[in-house]
């Protein structure tokens, strides 16, 4: 085995990290740095395994390192091969094995020349200086990494400062809050069904009828808000608002629109609601969603997850030959489906956590892409993981499966708590099938499910609105009401308003659309 003093091996592990860095740079405003860790660790392990196998075959560290780097670069240029082949052969998209076979043949030809230690070009033979090539690759890969990482570091530092400033202002806006520590402390379950359409939306636009979820909730003692609206039209905005009990318009205005989703996701992770419940002695338990800032919440006492293959991990995998193999071996689909079902599969672990606990469950089970039919049969994962909401029939089928799963979760929570836990089931926003008329879009996106179970009197009494839910209650007031009712926080309620951007590509151009949302006459 050749290990000379000049053989510093760096480049295989740098080339393994570069795809993660490049993809993260592309979507840095929608991702948190920690969401890249599972993909980064997987690629580094793959680079180490490739290096070890090559080292065992050739007994030469430089040659093994070069082979490992060569493999990692080819791995992430596969889609270039696949797209190029599609240009010359019709039907390649339906026969991904052609791209895979061509890719493997190219690797075999290159390795054959590599094993000989020489190249034959136009009849001339060129020898390979593996030591020198190893050094060049170390320098080139390190420079590429630095050129991409340094701007990211400065970006993240700037976003962190912005988050810390906004968090301080958010807490200042709430003012001093005195909580009654002597009161009974029921467990709290905050269940967010991402993209769950209100039953009236299903009826109005697609003539689909609620199979009985509303009746189920009412029979269980939930107060189902009749004219329920989201405060904002996207996950990171909606959850940031509800978990900080405030509107977030000032964040955009203070920064003159120069703000990213990252700041809002950090405000979800380190939010006013959780801080107050922790002050009361609650444990903070979260169920990983795979993304949206709720994949790995660092402030949680316990993060419950079924696997480490989050949304970013799947996106990285889809840049490799697995894009073609997934059709035959749907591993990513199953991991994705398992993540959506974590609440049910890990319910025993959730219930076993010590009380009092605040459990935050954010699931994209209703959300596109559609992985389930109404009976729970798993569907093929769409190419490229594109979250296409069409067609409405597929959305409604998965919506019904989400209802069945949510009912099971509620039954288990109520049985384990003896009906003494607070349970909130909300949509963060409605579906996203993108209505042609702007007003229709507002009605689809902003009407939500908002159901609350409070131990004791759960109905709308019409008395002391500050401590009770009412017909137009929005998520911004959810925890103001709960903290007032159970811990005498004396928080004033905010006006119930809804903000939505009419153009999807311009997320911060919020407009108040409250008066443009319509409900059936019987909604009171």
pLDDT level of residue 59 (50, 70, 90 thresholds): confident
User: In this prediction, what percent of the chain has a pLDDT beyond 90?
Assistant: 58
Please report the pLDDT score of residue 323 as a whole number: 78
162: Cα within 13 Å, side-chain hemisphere? 22
Which is nearest to 487 in space by CA: 479, 495, 477?
A: 479
In this structure, the answer to whether residues 89 and 218 fall within a common structural domain is: no
Cα gap 479→173, rounded to integer Å: 15
Span 210-229, pLDDT tens digits: 889 999 999 999 999 999 99
Q: Is the pLDDT score of 447 beyond 90?
A: yes
Q: Tens digits of per-residue pLDDT, 332-349?
A: 899 999 999 999 999 999
Q: Does residue 230 belong to any structural domain of this protein?
A: yes
pLDDT at 117: 58
Judged against a pLDDT cut of 70, whether residue 314 lies above it is answered with yes
Pair (353, 247) in one structural domain? yes
Average pLDDT over every residue of 74-102: 59
DSSP sequence for 178-231: ---TTS----EEEEEETT---HHHHHHHH-PPP-SHHHHHHHTT-EE-TT-B-S
Angle at which helices 199-206 and 392-417 cross, to 10° = 160
Average of per-residue pLDDT values in the chain: 86
Domain boundary among the residues 97, 131, 151 is at 151
Query: Look-up: residue for tokens 């807490």?
Result: 171
Provide the residue range defining the domain that includes 494. 188-306+341-516
Q: Are residues 375 and 232 in the same domain?
A: yes
pLDDT of 109 > 60? The answer is: no
pLDDT tens-digit series, residues 338-377: 999 999 999 999 999 999 999 999 999 999 999 999 999 9
Residues pairing with 361 in the sheet: 191, 287
CB atoms within 10 A of CB 517: 18
Model pLDDT, residue 111: 59
pLDDT at 118: 57
H/E element, 121: strand 118-121
What per-residue confidence (pLDDT) applies to 403?
A: 97
99 pLDDT exceeds 70? no
DSSP letter (8 states) at residue 130: H
Separation of alpha carbons 514 and 521, rounded Å: 16
User: Is the same domain home to 380 and 479?
Assistant: yes
State the Cα–Cα distance between residues 336 and 312, nearest whole angstrom: 11
- Quick one: 498 exposed, middle or buried, by C-beta within 10 A (0-12, 13-18, 19+)? buried
Distance between first and last Cα of the chain: 80
Contact (Cβ atoms closer than 8 angstroms) between residue 368 and residue 395: yes
Tokens of 430: 């409605």
335's tokens: 């991991």
Whole-number Å distance between alpha carbons of 440 and 516: 9
pLDDT band at 454 (very low <50, low <70, confident <90, very high): very high
Query: What DSSP assignment string belongs to 385-410?
Result: G------HHHHHHHHHHHHHHHHHHH
Q: Is pLDDT at 450 greater than 50 in this prediction?
A: yes
Residue 161 within any structural domain of the chain = no
pTM confidence score: 0.89
Q: Are residues 118 and 229 in the same domain?
A: no
Quote the tokens at residue 114: 């590599």
Q: Would you call 304 helix, strand, or coil by DSSP?
A: strand
Please indicate, yes or no, whether residues 75 and 135 belong to a single structural domain of this protein.
Answer: yes
- The pair of structure tokens assigned to 93 is 């998209």
CA–CA separation, 239 vs 403, rounded Å?
21
Report yes or no on 374 lying in a domain: yes
Return d(Cα 286, Cα 362) in angstroms, integer.
8
H/E stretch holding 72: helix 61-75
DSSP character string of 83-104: HHHHHHSTTGGG-THHHHHHHH
Residue 134 has pLDDT above 50, yes or no: yes
5 in any annotated domain: no
- For residues 292 and 353, membership in a common domain is answered with yes
> By C-alpha distance, which of 366, 310, 383 is closest to 31?
310
Please tell me which residue, 500 or 389, carries the higher pLDDT value.
500
Q: How many domains does the chain have?
A: 2
Question: Same structural domain for residues 463 and 409?
Answer: yes
Are 358 and 450 contained in the same domain? Answer: yes
Statement to judge: residues 361 and 472 lie in one domain: yes
Would you say residue 183 lies in a domain? no
Of 114-128, 207-221, 506-520, give the lowest mean pLDDT range: 114-128
Residues 388, 447, single domain; the answer is yes
Rg (CA), the chain: 26
Q: What is the pLDDT of residues 476-485, one digit of tens each?
A: 999 999 999 9
- C-alpha 510/C-alpha 493 separation (Å) is 22
193 in the same domain as 143: no
Percent of the chain whose predicted confidence (pLDDT) is above 70: 85
Q: What is the largest CA-CA distance in the chain?
A: 93
Q: pLDDT tens across 320-330, in order?
A: 888 778 888 88
pLDDT of residue 461: 46
């Amino acid at each position: 085995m050749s290990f000379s003093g000049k053989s510093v091996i760096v480049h295989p592990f740098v080339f393994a990290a570069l795809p993660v860095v490049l993809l993260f740079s592309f979507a840095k405003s929608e991702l948190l740095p920690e969401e890249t860790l599972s993909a980064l660790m997987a690629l580094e392990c793959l680079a180490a395994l490739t290096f070890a196998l090559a080292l065992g075959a050739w007994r030469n560290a430089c040659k093994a390192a070069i082979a490992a780097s060569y493999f990692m670069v080819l791995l992430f240029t596969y889609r270039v091969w696949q797209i190029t082949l599609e240009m010359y052969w019709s039907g390649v998209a339906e026969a991904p094995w052609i791209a895979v076979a061509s890719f493997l043949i190219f690797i075999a030809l290159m390795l054959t020349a590599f094993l000989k230690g020489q190249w034959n070009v136009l009849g001339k033979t060129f020898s390979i200086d593996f030591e020198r090539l190893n050094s060049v690759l170390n320098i080139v890969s390190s420079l590429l990494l630095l050129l991409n990482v340094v701007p990211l570091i400065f970006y993240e530092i700037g976003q962190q400062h912005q988050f810390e400033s906004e968090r301080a202002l958010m807490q200042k806006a709430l003012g001093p809050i005195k909580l009654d520590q002597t009161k009974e402390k029921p467990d709290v379950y905050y269940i967010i069904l991402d993209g769950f359409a209100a039953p009236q939306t299903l009826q109005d636009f697609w003539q689909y009828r609620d199979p009985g979820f509303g009746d189920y909730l009412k029979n269980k003692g939930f107060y189902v808000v009749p004219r329920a609206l989201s405060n904002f039209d996207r996950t990171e905005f909606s959850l940031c608002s509800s978990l900080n009990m405030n509107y977030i318009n000032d964040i955009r205005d203070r920064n003159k629109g120069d703000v990213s989703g990252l700041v809002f996701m950090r405000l979800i992770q380190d939010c006013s609601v959780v801080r107050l419940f922790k002050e009361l002695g609650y444990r903070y338990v979260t169920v990983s969603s795979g993304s949206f800032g709720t994949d790995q919440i660092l402030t949680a006492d316990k993060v419950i997850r079924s696997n480490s293959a989050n949304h970013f991990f799947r996106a990285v995998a889809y840049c490799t030959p697995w894009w073609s193999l997934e059709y035959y071996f749907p591993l990513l689909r199953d991991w994705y489906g398992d993540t959506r079902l974590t609440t049910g599969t890990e319910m025993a672990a959730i219930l076993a956590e010590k009380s009092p606990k605040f459990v935050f469950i954010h699931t994209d089970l209703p959300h596109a892409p559609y992985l389930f039919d109404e009976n729970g049969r798993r569907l093929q994962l769409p190419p490229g993981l594109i979250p296409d909401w069409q067609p409405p029939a597929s959305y409604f089928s998965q919506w019904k499966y989400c209802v069945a799963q949510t009912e099971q979760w509620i039954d288990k929570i109520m049985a384990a708590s003896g009906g003494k836990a607070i349970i909130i089931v909300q949509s963060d926003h409605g579906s996203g099938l993108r209505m042609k008329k702007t007003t229709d879009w507002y009605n689809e996106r902003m009407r939500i499910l908002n159901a609350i179970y409070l131990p004791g009197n759960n109905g709308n009494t019409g008395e002391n609105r500050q401590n009770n839910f009412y017909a137009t209650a929005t998520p911004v007031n959810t925890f103001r009401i709960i903290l007032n009712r159970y811990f005498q926080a004396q928080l004033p309620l905010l006006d119930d308003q809804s903000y939505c951007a009419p153009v999807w590509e311009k997320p911060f151009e919020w407009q108040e659309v409250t008066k443009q949302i319509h409900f059936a006459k019987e909604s009171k």
